[in-house]
Structure 1
């Protein structure tokens, strides 16, 4: 627009290594005099590498007049808008050109293949900006940013990670391979192991997440929280230095500091119609394979024995457990397969 103003005919042009299929910019004494389409071009014209990108700027009044004079006496039997260039030259109007900063800015998309190629260019440009800002990408060709990714200092991102929506990685964060983060924040110095999925979640400073962990919407983790392999957290707040290291589900829960949640523990938050919250206060130890049937509260310093199904409040600083008494049956014999007749 700056080059053409309101009194000149402007064309966005670009030089290509292989201009096949594009209209060539024909110049005489350095000035543009016409655009010749591929099928109508002579051999010398086909050797021209400057092409028409399809973006033009022309004064409205003269353009209407030129369009009314277009003919289809060409190799394709079509009406070429580009013939308006020759009309402008005949009327004494100056035809000027401008060039984009990069060829890819003018590329068109007419197939899934071209769309994929342009997407890769876009992702490569985003990766370049991250590298220039000091982010370490283990392979710049294997990252997908499908929204806005912002990073602090000394951030490291391994291969095949996908970032959707708005994602922020604070100083020193490390994201392992094959992770998907959507609308989430990862705190300073946190390490996310491979194959983790976050959505609308926040990880505190120095957190340790994964591998194979899932943080669902509403998850807020405090400082130095550990969420291990095959642990799912949903709509829960977990305070500093707490851990759920293996095979657990924490949903609709408020968890205090320095809590240990054993393997196989779940919060039973849904009765088939409504969701209820579980409250676990500071310094609680929950043994493996425990079911916390919400609404329920575990008071400060309580210990829950392995295999417990907790349906009532657990008292502070005491051991609570519910399991059947272990027995040994001396007269019992293991069944033996009967011989087939």
Structure 2
């Protein structure tokens, strides 16, 4: 967590609670840092649904009311497990469920655990809380009652969307939370002109950018810092991670692409795998059962089917025949293959790297290419065919005699 925050939000100050001794104790651990602030927003780490709009609203209510504490209450369908917000004779207090009476448990308003405090009053009240309760912990909720009794001003704001205060305490709640966030992300994209055939089966990460007029099929997963250009199509069961797709790209289903870039009009799949910083340039085609690793495929080049291209560069308009393999690994090191523009690589060609094919060169089907091929040349590297006439007839005759 510290590494993630440092990478994405380097200005964040991290204060560690080494001993898990309650929510009040957690805030006390940040006491030295909090003293520099006039107000502080406190949010539990397990309420992932809270939106920035709701957080902003609570802060605005707090500043306007001039209360020492402003916090969200909410009305869950089932309040079991939540502390209750009790208002009696003008005073406000929060009672944790384990410490609540039967009457207090019937209160329908639950505590969200989301607060804004005036820092000075918060730090003073923290000095007065104790661990004399069912869990033997220092509750932050006790601060609310202390402030209310002192007349410092406590304001309860009802959260409109109760789901925003839902916590995560087990795998079932984690799955439910993930679904809510997923739906929120998909709704944003659909309002911006992205079409999903079946949104209930699709996952799109929060950092993903998708342009308008994009069609996305069922069971698609898009992760990381991926970007999908306008008018592109992503077929079903495709998985993309950190992929940059230009405009009008066509992913034809069951493709797995990571850490790579596809330029405008590129087409991939079905059943293709592209990875490790590969580039597929304008109008190029990567077809069925093809793997591309750390390679650059030139504009309008074609690798239609059943090939492995690794540590290679392929020029413009080159055609790679079925079954072609760049033999890039010698058991110790990886080696590079360079194929020029307008080349024709025959089916089942083995390109033993390091090797270079010049522009407009050809290789014969079934060749094992171990030497560079000059520009405009045909390379054939295979055993010469020999026809033995009458062999089949003699074989049958010998079999009959035995």
| TM-score bracket relative to the smaller structure | 0.7 to 0.9
The structure-2 alpha-carbon separation of the partners of 1:224 and 1:57, relative to structure 1 and needing over 3 Å to count, comes to closer
The structure-2 alpha-carbon separation of the partners of 1:263 and 1:77, relative to structure 1 and needing over 3 Å to count, comes to closer
The TM-score with structure 2 as length reference comes to 0.75
| Alignment check: 8 A CA contact 2:67 2:155 kept | no
How far residue 218 of structure 1 moved from its aligned partner, in angstroms, is 2.2
Q: Which residue of 2 aligns with 1:106?
A: 165
From 263, 269, 273, the counterpart of 2:332? 273
Q: Which residue of 1 aligns with 2:359?
A: 300
The TM-score with structure 1 as length reference comes to 0.88
**Secondary structure at the residue paired with 1:148?**
coil
Do residues 323 (structure 1) and 323 (structure 2) align? no
How far residue 319 of structure 1 moved from its aligned partner, in angstroms, is 2.5
Do residues 224 (structure 1) and 283 (structure 2) align? yes
CA distance in 1, matches of 2:269, 2:91: 61
How far residue 10 of structure 1 moved from its aligned partner, in angstroms, is 2.7
| Alignment check: 8 A CA contact 2:129 2:138 kept | no
From 311, 314, 331, the counterpart of 2:370? 311
CA distance in 1, matches of 2:380, 2:137: 85
User: 1:223-264 deviations in whole A, cap 9, x for unaligned?
Assistant: 111111110111111111111111001111111111110110
| Alignment check: 8 A CA contact 1:174 1:192 kept | yes
How far residue 212 of structure 1 moved from its aligned partner, in angstroms, is 0.8
Q: Which residue of 2 aligns with 1:27?
A: 87
Q: Which residue of 1 aligns with 2:156?
A: 97
Alignment of 1:239-258 (within 5 A): 239-258=298-317
How far residue 61 of structure 1 moved from its aligned partner, in angstroms, is 4.6
| Alignment check: 8 A CA contact 1:213 1:229 kept | yes
How far residue 46 of structure 1 moved from its aligned partner, in angstroms, is 4.0
**Secondary structure at the residue paired with 2:224?**
strand
CA distance in 2, matches of 1:84, 1:282: 73
Do residues 194 (structure 1) and 253 (structure 2) align? yes
The structure-2 alpha-carbon separation of the partners of 1:78 and 1:317, relative to structure 1 and needing over 3 Å to count, comes to closer
Deviates more, 1:156-165 or 1:34-43: 34-43
Do residues 235 (structure 1) and 294 (structure 2) align? yes
Deviates more, 1:2-11 or 1:268-277: 2-11
Q: Which residue of 2 aligns with 1:11?
A: 71
CA distance in 1, matches of 2:360, 2:197: 43
Deviates more, 1:311-320 or 1:164-173: 311-320
Structure 1 runs not aligned, ≥5 long: none
Q: CA RMSD in A?
A: 2.6
Structure 2 runs not aligned, ≥5 long: 1-40, 42-58
Q: Which residue of 2 aligns with 1:164?
A: 223
CA distance in 1, matches of 2:150, 2:269: 70
Number of residue pairs the alignment of both structures matches: 333
CA distance in 2, matches of 1:193, 1:209: 6
Do residues 175 (structure 1) and 234 (structure 2) align? yes
| Alignment check: 8 A CA contact 1:25 1:32 kept | no
The structure-2 alpha-carbon separation of the partners of 1:97 and 1:187, relative to structure 1 and needing over 3 Å to count, comes to same
| Alignment check: 8 A CA contact 1:227 1:244 kept | yes
How far residue 102 of structure 1 moved from its aligned partner, in angstroms, is 3.2
**Secondary structure at the residue paired with 1:49?**
coil
Q: Which residue of 2 aligns with 1:128?
A: 187
User: 1:270-317 deviations in whole A, cap 9, x for unaligned?
Assistant: 212222221111111111100111121212222211001111222333
- Greater fraction helix: 2
How far residue 128 of structure 1 moved from its aligned partner, in angstroms, is 0.7
CA distance in 2, matches of 1:65, 1:299: 79
**Secondary structure at the residue paired with 1:273?**
coil
Q: Which residue of 2 aligns with 1:64?
A: 126
Do residues 152 (structure 1) and 214 (structure 2) align? no
How far residue 49 of structure 1 moved from its aligned partner, in angstroms, is 2.2
How far residue 320 of structure 1 moved from its aligned partner, in angstroms, is 2.0
